Each structure stands twice: as structure tokens, then as C-alpha cells.
């Protein structure tokens, strides 16, 4: 890993719109953060994130699974990502669970963004599920977290950053979504701005957890 030299090189995996990718890429291109976005890879051909990357001059690659097993797909994905020699891989709306076939190639370097607090609402539709819980009076807050991905556990791993967001029982889902997306951008950009400083400490957590 390029732990001591800036800028840190970041590969981004995304499946959808790519708004967080765009915010990260623009910050890197403008010099707001000392990082270089080396590629954007999507598992969905035609995903809007690919167009965003092309508009910004960042290499964009569509890599659909095409009937491959999870492990075979991840081996192909790892080879393509590795060709860009990234220091980090950011999962920004990546809608596949990565296997050891990918993770073992980048130990301690895969970072996932998830719109929930640690241990709450893993998986799909986390914002809507938290909002529904708020409407029922079951939860008073949600949030955004960044964590390392050492194994195949869903939205769970060593925590890198977190921001809590209060849920107002009368708030519309669209309002909560807007605040959550703003928090996602803050968390991603803050962490990306200190990548070199955290590289060594993250490497210490690279080994998969027991039982993984």
C-alpha cells in the first residue's frame, strides 16, 4: 500500500446513480482532497454512475456478472480493479456482497459506505426501514457509517467513521433521504481527506475475523 506518498489512489465500485462517487471525484480533481480516483467500476451496464465517470474523465468500466458464480465474478473483478493499482477500494452504493476471491486481493483496503448506524438495518433499503421505524416510534435516530470490509459479513466491519442523524416522527421519507445523502457525502469526503494518515492503522485490521 502507498501508505506514505500522496495522493492515495482510489478505485470506486458503484451500482447506481453514483452521486457520492461524483462528489468524491470532484473533490479529488479540484484538489480539495489529496486523492486520485483511478477508476469507476459498475456491475450494471448503463448505470448512471458510468456516465458520471465518463463526464469527469475517469476510466469507467461496466462489468456485469453474466451468469458467473460469485467467486468467479469476484476473481475477474479483482483482476480488473488491480490493473489500476489502487491503494483503496471504496464501495459507494455497490449492491453485491464481495467474497474472499476479491477481498483477499486487497486486505485492509476495502471501505464500504452504508446509510445506517453500526448494527442497525444492514442490507437493502436501510433509509426507508429506519424511517418506517421512526414513524412507528421504534427508533429515534439513524446515521451513516464507513467501515472496512474484511469478510463477507453484510454491512459490518471495523468502523472508520460514523455520523448520527435524528429521525423526526413527522418527517417525510424524502426529507430524511436528503439529509442522509448529505451526511454520506460529508463522511466520505472527510475520510478521503485523511487516507494517508489512516493507511497504516487500517492495514493492522486487514486479517479476516475468526469464523469468517
Looking at the chain, how many residues does it have? 212
Dist. CA 139–CA 141, nearest whole Å: 6
Which residues participate in catalysis according to the annotation?
114
- Half-sphere exposure of residue 74, counting CA atoms within 13 Å on the CB side? 16
Cis amide prior to 7 (ω within 30 degrees) = yes
Residues 180, 133: contact at Cβ < 8 Å?
Answer: no
Q: What does the alpha-carbon distance between residue 9 and residue 15 come to, in Å, rounded to a whole number?
A: 20
Burial of 203 (0-12, 13-18, 19+ CB in 10 A): middle
Residue 130 to residue 135: CA distance in whole angstroms: 9
| CA quadruple 205, 197, 148, 168: dihedral sign | positive
Cell of 202: 487500517
The candidate with the shortest Cα–Cα distance to 148, out of 198, 86, 190, 81, is 198
Amino acid at each position: 500500500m502507498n501508505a506514505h506518498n500522496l495522493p492515495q489512489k482510489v478505485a470506486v465500485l458503484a451500482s447506481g446513480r453514483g452521486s457520492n462517487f461524483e462528489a468524491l471525484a470532484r473533490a479529488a480533481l479540484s484538489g480539495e482532497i489529496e486523492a486520485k480516483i483511478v477508476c469507476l467500476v459498475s456491475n450494471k451496464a448503463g448505470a448512471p454512475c458510468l456516465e458520471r465517470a465518463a463526464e469527469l474523465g475517469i476510466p469507467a468500466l461496466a462489468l456485469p456478472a453474466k451468469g458467473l458464480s460469485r467467486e468467479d465474478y469476484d476473481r475477474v473483478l479483482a483482476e480488473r480493479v488491480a490493473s489500476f493499482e489502487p491503494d483503496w477500494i471504496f464501495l459507494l452504493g455497490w449492491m453485491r456482497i464481495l467474497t474472499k476471491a476479491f477481498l483477499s486481493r486487497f486486505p485492509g483496503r476495502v471501505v464500504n459506505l452504508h446509510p445506517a448506524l453500526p448494527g442497525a438495518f444492514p442490507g437493502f433499503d436501510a433509509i426507508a426501514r429506519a424511517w418506517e421505524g421512526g414513524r412507528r416510534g421504534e427508533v429515534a435516530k439513524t446515521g451513516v457509517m464507513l467501515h472496512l470490509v474484511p469478510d463477507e459479513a453484510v454491512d459490518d466491519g471495523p468502523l472508520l467513521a460514523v455520523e448520527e442523524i435524528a429521525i423526526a416522527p413527522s418527517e417525510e421519507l424524502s426529507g430524511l433521504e436528503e439529509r442522509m445523502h448529505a451526511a454520506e457525502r460529508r463522511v466520505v469526503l472527510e475520510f478521503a481527506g485523511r487516507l494517508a494518515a489512516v493507511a497504516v492503522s487500517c492495514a493492522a485490521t486487514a486479517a479476516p475475523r475468526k469464523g469468517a
